[in-house]
Amino acid sequence: MANLFQKRVLILALFAGEIMMKSGAEISRVESTIIRICRACHIDRVECFATTTGIFLSIHSGNDDDDMQTFIKRIDRTDIDLKKISAINVFARVFTSTDLTVVDGLEQLKKIEAIKPYPFLVRVLAAMVCGAFFVPYYFGGTSDIFCAALVSGAAYGLSYVISLLEFPPFIRIFVSCFVATALILLLQVFYLEDNSPAVIVSAVSIFMPGVAITNAARDMLAGDLLSGVARLVEALIAAIAIAGGIGMCMAGWKIINAQPLPAAAIPYPLWSYFFFGALITAGFAVLFNAPVRRIPVIAVIGGIGMISYQFLYFHGYSILASCFLGTFLVAILSEVASRAGKDATTIFILPGIIPFVPGAAIYRTMAKLLESDFEAVAQNGSETLMMVGGISIAIALVAALTRLGSSIIRRISRKGI
């Protein structure tokens, strides 16, 4: 059985690994640091397995009659803090090459954990510099540099405020990019001429998932395939958040001056789509074996979703934007119905989003594939993927906002008590 000293060493090693993981270090470095610290204290039988969300550490004394001791540390949130990674690297070298005690080591790790980042205003200035000098890379002009600097600083400040409210990273990036794009489009009206794409890309460059992609490549090359894939997914989610924030803002901007479709192009009265959607979702609720008492509510949610989609589309929104906003509304109504009826959200949202599933786009993709029209296949396939992505993002966005709202309400209730 592991003695008290060994347990303290494992706590020390796990603490060092936790700080590195939360600071954005690659998996192989985290695992090697933990193992080096343990072996420096003469614990030779050590097994460490780290992922982006947790560290698993086991030891064995070497005696066949003793039990294996396993420690698990959950990693909730990660950020990029190169100062802490450097400090832990120096600490590991000192600990493994000197007679530094475990108690003193824990004290040093606590000091490392307490290291503060650069002052907020300095980080805002750095974000402005990054955004400004990306503009020449995208062939922007001198006035574009100034605008990109202002927007980058504002976007970083907003991102920092959102992070303090403990929003998920997806929400933080999505909202920050949305606001940054809106500011640039407004500046285009009053100041810029016609180079907003270069400014937009430059301004949101501070949110690009370059670190996640780099760490994913390094983890994969080191043989940590699970963590490598996880970091690639993290990078993909960040890219979707960036594209979603920019795309939704630009779609909304385009629609401001858009003209609605002529009445002759609308086959049915707008109000009739509520009943079409209600009947469709009620039918799928039966097919999905939903509780009978929930079917009327499900039908109403589906009807509202369908009429909102058609209203947006008839008034000039793209199919993607209409699908996203309609799904967003259905997801909100499903969350409300779930809490009002004290039932699972899944019961309401699964039938409710059926009208938004891109069945026509899927059909066109397959039809063109059979005709060997690969250009049309690429176009329709891209449309299908974007609509599926819009549905997924809308549902995830509402779920994240709901969890955050519930958390805030619980905290306020506790303080009230």
Q: What is the pLDDT of residues 137-181, one digit of tens each?
A: 777 777 788 888 888 899 999 888 888 877 778 788 888 888 888
Residue 3 near residue 62, CB atoms below 8 Å: no
pTM for this entry: 0.69
Crossing angle of helices 196-203 and 169-190, rounded to 10°: 150
Quickly count helices (H) and strands (E) in the chain: 16, 3
* Same domain? 328 vs 239: no
* Same domain? 33 vs 150: no
What is the distance between the terminal CA atoms of the chain, rounded to a whole angstrom?
45
Residue 284 near residue 294, CB atoms below 8 Å: no
pLDDT of residue 254: 66
Cα distance between residue 217 and residue 235, in whole Å: 11
DSSP annotation of 259:
P
Cα distance between residue 258 and residue 316, in whole Å: 6
Q: Which residue has the tokens 């000098």?
A: 133
Among 218, 241, 256, identify where a domain stops.
Answer: 256
pLDDT of residue 1: 44
Among 206, 238, 256, identify where a domain stops.
Answer: 256
* Same domain? 108 vs 159: no
pLDDT of residue 313: 77
Cα distance between residue 138 and residue 22, in whole Å: 33
| Residues of the chain under the 50 pLDDT cut | 1, 264, 417
Which of helix, strand or coil describes residue 373?
A: coil
pLDDT of residue 63: 63
Residues 6+ apart with CB under 8 A from 84: 19, 20, 23, 112, 113, 115
* Same domain? 268 vs 354: yes
* Same domain? 170 vs 60: no
* Same domain? 31 vs 57: yes
Number of domains in the chain: 3
Parent domain of 400:
263-416
